[in-house]
Structure 1
Amino acid sequence: MTGLHERHLAVSPEWLALYYRHPLELTHGEGRHVWDADGNRYLDFFGGILTTMTAHALPEVTKAVAEQAGRIIHSSTLYLNRPMVEMAERIATLSGIPDARVFFTTSGTEANDTALLLATAYRRSNQILAMRNSYHGRSFSTVSITGNQAWSPTSLSPLQTLYVHGGVRSRGPYAELSDERFIQACVADLEDLLGHTRRPAALIAEPVQGVGGFTSPPDGLFAAFREVLDRHGVLWISDEVQTGWGRTGDHFWGWQAHAEHGPPDILTFAKGIGNGMSVGGVVARAEVMNCLDANSISTFGGSPITMAASLANLSYLLEHDLQGNARRVGGLLIERLRGVTAASPAVREVRGRGLMIGIELVEPGTDEADPEAAAAVLEAARAGGLLIGKGGGHSTSVLRIAPPLTLTVAEAEEGAAILADALHAAG
Structure 2
Amino acid sequence: MSDLYARHRNVLPDWLALYYEEPLEITHGEGRHVWDAAGNKYLDFFGGILTTMTAHALPEVAKAVSEQAGRINHSSTLYLNRPMVDLAERVAHISGIPDARVFFTTSGTEANDTALLLATTYRRSNTVLAMRNSYHGRSFSAVGITGNRGWSPTSLSPLQTLYVHGGVRGRGPFADLSDAEFVAACVEDLKDLLGHTRAPAALIAEPIQGVGGFTSPPDGLYAAFREVLDAHGILWIADEVQTGWGRTGEHFWGWQAHAQNGPPDIVTFAKGIGNGMSIGGVIARSEIMNCLDANSISTFGGTQVTMAAGLANLGYLLEHDLQGNSRRVGGLLIERLRGVAAHDPGVREVRGRGLMIGVELTRPGTDLADPDRASAVLEAARADGLLIGKGGGHSTSVLRIAPPLSLTVAEAEEGAAILESALRATQ
Match of 1:260 in 2: 260
Q: Distance in 2 between matches of 1:363 and 1:25?
A: 32
Q: Distance in 2 between matches of 1:170 and 1:199?
A: 29
Match of 1:186 in 2: 186
Counterpart code for 1:392: G
**Residue by residue, what CA displacement relative to the aligned partner does 1:230-279 show, whole Å, maximum 9, x if unpaired?**
00000000000000000000000000000000000000000000000000
Post-superposition offset of 1:365: 1.3
Q: Tell me, what secondary structure is at the counterpart of 1:71?
A: coil
Trace 1:13-412 onto structure 2 (pairs within 5 A). Answer: 13-412=13-412
Post-superposition offset of 1:178: 0.4
Counterpart code for 1:97: I
Aligned residues: 427
Q: Tell me, what secondary structure is at the counterpart of 1:184?
A: helix
Q: Tell me, what secondary structure is at the counterpart of 1:130?
A: strand
Post-superposition offset of 1:5: 0.3
Counterpart code for 1:342: A
Post-superposition offset of 1:344: 0.4
Post-superposition offset of 1:412: 0.2
Q: Tell me, what secondary structure is at the counterpart of 2:284?
A: strand
Counterpart code for 1:206: E
Post-superposition offset of 1:364: 1.0
Post-superposition offset of 1:89: 0.2
Q: Tell me, what secondary structure is at the counterpart of 1:350?
A: strand
Post-superposition offset of 1:186: 0.2
Post-superposition offset of 1:369: 0.2
**Residue by residue, what CA displacement relative to the aligned partner does 1:147-180 show, whole Å, maximum 9, x if unpaired?**
0000000000000000000000000000000000
* TM-score between the two structures when normalised by the length of structure 2: 1.00
Counterpart code for 2:71: R
Q: Tell me, what secondary structure is at the counterpart of 1:225?
A: helix
The unaligned stretches of length 5 or more in structure 2 are none
Q: Distance in 2 between matches of 1:6 and 1:295?
A: 44
List structure 1 segments (4+ residues) > 2 angstroms apart after TM superposition: none
Post-superposition offset of 1:329: 0.1
Q: Tell me, what secondary structure is at the counterpart of 1:294?
A: coil
Q: Distance in 2 between matches of 1:219 and 1:303?
A: 37
Q: Tell me, what secondary structure is at the counterpart of 2:412?
A: helix
Counterpart code for 2:293: D
Counterpart code for 2:114: T
Q: Distance in 1 between matches of 2:271 and 2:403?
A: 13
Q: Distance in 2 between matches of 1:260 and 1:199?
A: 24
Q: Tell me, what secondary structure is at the counterpart of 1:17?
A: coil
Q: Distance in 1 between matches of 2:362 and 2:224?
A: 32
Post-superposition offset of 1:341: 1.6
Counterpart code for 2:292: L
Q: Distance in 2 between matches of 1:191 and 1:231?
A: 11
Q: Tell me, what secondary structure is at the counterpart of 2:189?
A: helix
Q: Tell me, what secondary structure is at the counterpart of 2:204?
A: strand
Q: Distance in 1 between matches of 2:65 and 2:32?
A: 20
Post-superposition offset of 1:426: 1.4
Post-superposition offset of 1:209: 0.1
**Residue by residue, what CA displacement relative to the aligned partner does 1:368-420 show, whole Å, maximum 9, x if unpaired?**
00000000000000001000000000000000000000000000000000000
**Residue by residue, what CA displacement relative to the aligned partner does 1:127-163 show, whole Å, maximum 9, x if unpaired?**
0000000000000000000000000000000000000
Q: Distance in 2 between matches of 1:177 and 1:265?
A: 30
Q: Tell me, what secondary structure is at the counterpart of 1:390?
A: strand
Q: Distance in 2 between matches of 1:325 and 1:399?
A: 22
Post-superposition offset of 1:199: 1.5
**Residue by residue, what CA displacement relative to the aligned partner does 1:352-375 show, whole Å, maximum 9, x if unpaired?**
000000000001111100000000
Q: Distance in 2 between matches of 1:187 and 1:366?
A: 29
Q: Distance in 1 between matches of 2:177 and 2:416?
A: 31
Q: Distance in 2 between matches of 1:165 and 1:288?
A: 27
Q: Distance in 2 between matches of 1:226 and 1:30?
A: 42
**Residue by residue, what CA displacement relative to the aligned partner does 1:24-54 show, whole Å, maximum 9, x if unpaired?**
0000000000000000000000000000000
Q: Distance in 2 between matches of 1:132 and 1:176?
A: 18
Q: Distance in 2 between matches of 1:384 and 1:345?
A: 23
Counterpart code for 1:330: G
Q: Tell me, what secondary structure is at the counterpart of 1:14?
A: coil
Post-superposition offset of 1:340: 1.2
Q: Distance in 1 between matches of 2:419 and 2:341?
A: 9
Q: Distance in 2 between matches of 1:357 and 1:179?
A: 20
Q: Distance in 1 between matches of 2:266 and 2:366?
A: 40
Q: Distance in 2 between matches of 1:228 and 1:338?
A: 36
